[in-house]
Structure formats: structure tokens, C-alpha cells
């Protein structure tokens, strides 16, 4: 490819981070589409966000029609929908990086849609927080087009490892890992809220630090609460895919399912200021969450 043309589908945290991180000299054009552009209430803010990061905000069809590389970074529940919407407008041979946190089964469905149109699907698993790494966040890729994908990844100074196997192989690693990573956030929420409400949080946390020296329950708990409050809706959608992954393996999934509930609850919680959450101390965050939960109960009672 002499002049790499890129389209981003979705311009939330991940889309914005990639646009910020990529060296503009590594590509010719960067177009972006987000469903918020179609909503009059959010279109202006989204357009400004996209343009501030050096991309061109446009309609879906226009964004992907000339792209050599389409990078899908939407929420997990929109991944297959986005693939189906984009593919009629993509040129044959275009690479489609599905970076969404979906079950292997969902990824295979998306791959069938993309491949049937003569485009090249790549299963991409994002294996860490997108910030502060941005485009250098560790990735795993899988599927029949990993060699072509790696050439583009290296051109964009991204970091990826190849998982041998068909589409779904990379996402399996991500999904199974998320049982622990997103599950810990849910456990921290239930632990710290219960401990704070009962007034025993200092004793509980100190005891855990003795049992697991070096883990840092105060800081990890505070960070986990911030992640769930700010990104709970997206995490809940991902955990539904995790639960589906476990189900696809023929195993029971009550832990993943319970995590969906906590992530969704915190993500949708009203009355909590998410603009300035302390990610090193959990006390004020717990009190704000407890007050909001009490407010919900009072509202229902009324």
C-alpha cells in the first residue's frame, strides 16, 4: 500500500486514543464514523471530538468506501451490526480489524459477513487499557490474514502478537481473561461498598493486604470503581460476550453473568460525579455510590 487510507468505526475512548496515537505520516487519510453523528443531540460534540484528533468526521458509507483498513472499535453489542452496516460500502480486499470485545462465536459471524464480500477480516483482541498506551496497547491477532495485518500494524507502529488458529482464537484469550479482570471490578464494588456501609472497610482492607502482600487493595479497589463507573455500560456489553463465550464452551457462567449486573448497575447509576474520581482512594467514591443507591431506593419507594 503506497498511501494507507484508514476508517475508524466508533470514536469512543478507543477510537480517540488510536487517532491520537498514530503518526500522521504513517497514513494518507483518516476518516471516522460514530453513531452519535446521526443523533442531533450529540452530533456537534462528536464531530468536534473527531476533528480535534485529526480525523475527518463523515457518514459511514463515505468513511469506509475508499479505506484500505477499517478499524472497528464500537461497543461489543454493536460489533456485528457495525460489520453488516459497513461491508456493503467497503472495497474488495480491504482489511477489517475487529477490535471489539466479543465472543469467538460473534467474531466468526462478523468474519463470515466480511469475507463473503471479498474483504479480509482480522480477529483483534486488545489486551490492556487503551490509555496511556494508545496505539501501542498490546494486541493479539488471529485468522487467515495475519501476515497482511502485521504489515499494516508495523507500519502504524502498533504492537501485536499472532495467535495461531482460526478467527476467534485471539478473542478467546481476551474473553477468558476478562472473567478475572472485569470480574474483579465487580467483586471490588461489592466488597468495598459493603465494607464502607458497615464501617469496617479499614479493617477489611488491612486484613486483605496482609493475606495478599503487595497487591494494594486500596489503590486497586479505587481504580476498579472508577473503571466501572465510567465504563460500566461498555464493560457490561463485553461481559455479556464473555458469558456467551463460557456458554459456547459448554460451561456454566454465573460469575460472568453476575459481573454483567454489577457493571451495568454502576455504569447507569445516576447522581455520581464521574468527572473527578480519585483513582487512588476509594472512600469518597464509595460514599457517593452508596448515596446514589439510597436515592434510587427512595425514588422507587416514593
126 with 183, same domain: the answer is: no
The CATH number of whichever domain residue 131 belongs to comes to 3.40.50.720
- Local confidence band at 2 (pLDDT 50, 70, 90 cut-offs): low
pTM of the model: 0.89
pLDDT attached to residue 100: 97
Domain boundary among 104, 136, 167: 167
13 with 134, same domain: the answer is: yes
Range of the domain at 17: 5-167
pLDDT attached to residue 297: 83
**Overall number of domains in the chain:** 2
* Average pLDDT in the chain: 96
265 with 163, same domain: the answer is: no
- Local confidence band at 262 (pLDDT 50, 70, 90 cut-offs): very high
Rounded Cα distance, 65 and 95, in Å: 12
291 with 155, same domain: the answer is: no
Chain centroid, CA 252 distance in Å: 24
The CATH number of whichever domain residue 233 belongs to comes to 1.10.1040.10
163 with 282, same domain: the answer is: no
- Local confidence band at 299 (pLDDT 50, 70, 90 cut-offs): confident
Rounded to an integer, the average pLDDT of 41-49 is 97
Percent of the chain exceeding pLDDT 90 equals 96
Please report the DSSP string for 86-124 in residue order: HGGGSPTT-EEEE-S---HHHHHHHHHHHHHTT-EEEEE
202 with 242, same domain: the answer is: yes
Rounded to an integer, the average pLDDT of 285-299 is 92
Nearest 5°: CA angle at 58, between 126 and 53?
A: 55
189 pLDDT higher than 80? yes
85 with 198, same domain: the answer is: no
Domain boundary among 135, 167, 199: 167
57 pLDDT higher than 70? yes
193 with 274, same domain: the answer is: yes
Q: How many CA atoms lie within 13 A of 94 on its CB side?
A: 28
Cα dihedral 173, 268, 226, 47 sign: positive
Taking CA atoms, 180 is separated from 103, 221, 242, 272, in Å, by 15, 14, 11, 26
Taking CA atoms, 33 is separated from 60, 102, 181, in Å, by 6, 20, 29
Q: Mind listing the pLDDT tens digit for each residue in 231-240?
A: 999 999 999 9
194 with 212, same domain: the answer is: yes
95 with 222, same domain: the answer is: no
Q: Mind listing the pLDDT tens digit for each residue in 118-174?
A: 999 999 999 999 999 999 999 999 999 999 999 999 999 999 999 999 999 999 999
56 with 163, same domain: the answer is: yes
Domain boundary among 127, 150, 167: 167
302 pLDDT higher than 60? no
Rounded Cα distance, 167 and 228, in Å: 29
11 with 145, same domain: the answer is: yes
pLDDT attached to residue 301: 56
Amino acid at each position: 500500500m503506497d498511501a494507507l487510507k484508514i476508517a475508524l468505526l466508533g470514536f469512543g475512548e478507543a477510537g480517540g486514543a488510536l487517532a491520537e496515537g498514530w503518526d500522521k505520516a504513517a497514513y494518507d487519510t483518516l476518516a471516522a464514523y460514530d453513531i452519535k453523528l446521526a443523533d442531533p443531540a450529540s452530533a456537534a460534540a462528536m464531530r468536534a471530538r473527531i476533528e480535534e484528533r485529526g480525523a475527518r468526521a463523515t457518514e459511514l458509507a463515505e468513511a469506509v468506501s475508499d479505506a484500505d483498513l477499517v478499524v472497528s472499535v464500537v461497543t461489543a453489542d454493536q460489533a456485528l451490526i457495525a460489520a453488516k452496516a459497513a461491508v456493503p460500502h467497503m472495497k474488495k480486499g480491504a482489511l477489517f480489524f475487529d477490535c471489539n470485545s466479543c465472543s469467538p462465536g460473534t467474531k466468526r459471524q462478523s468474519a463470515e459477513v466480511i469475507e463473503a464480500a471479498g474483504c479480509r477480516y482480522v480477529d483483534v483482541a486488545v489486551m490492556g487499557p487503551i490509555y496511556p498506551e494508545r496505539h501501542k496497547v498490546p494486541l493479539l491477532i488471529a485468522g487467515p490474514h495475519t501476515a497482511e495485518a502485521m504489515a499494516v500494524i508495523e507500519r502504524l507502529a502498533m504492537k501485536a502478537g499472532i495467535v495461531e488458529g482460526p478467527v476467534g482464537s485471539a478473542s478467546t484469550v481476551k474473553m477468558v481473561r476478562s472473567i478475572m479482570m472485569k470480574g474483579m471490578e465487580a467483586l471490588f464494588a461489592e466488597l468495598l461498598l459493603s465494607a464502607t456501609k458497615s464501617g469496617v472497610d479499614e479493617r477489611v482492607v488491612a486484613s486483605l493486604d496482609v493475606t495478599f502482600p503487595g497487591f494494594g487493595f486500596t489503590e486497586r479497589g479505587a481504580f476498579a470503581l472508577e473503571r466501572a463507573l465510567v465504563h460500566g455500560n461498555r464493560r457490561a456489553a463485553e461481559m455479556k460476550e464473555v458469558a456467551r463465550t463460557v456458554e459456547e464452551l459448554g460451561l456454566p457462567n454465573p460469575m460472568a453473568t453476575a459481573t454483567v449486573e454489577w457493571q451495568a448497575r454502576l455504569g447507569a447509576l445516576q447522581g455520581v460525579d464521574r468527572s473527578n474520581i480519585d483513582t487512588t482512594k476509594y472512600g469518597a467514591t464509595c460514599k457517593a455510590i452508596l448515596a446514589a443507591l439510597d436515592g434510587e431506593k427512595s425514588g422507587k419507594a416514593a
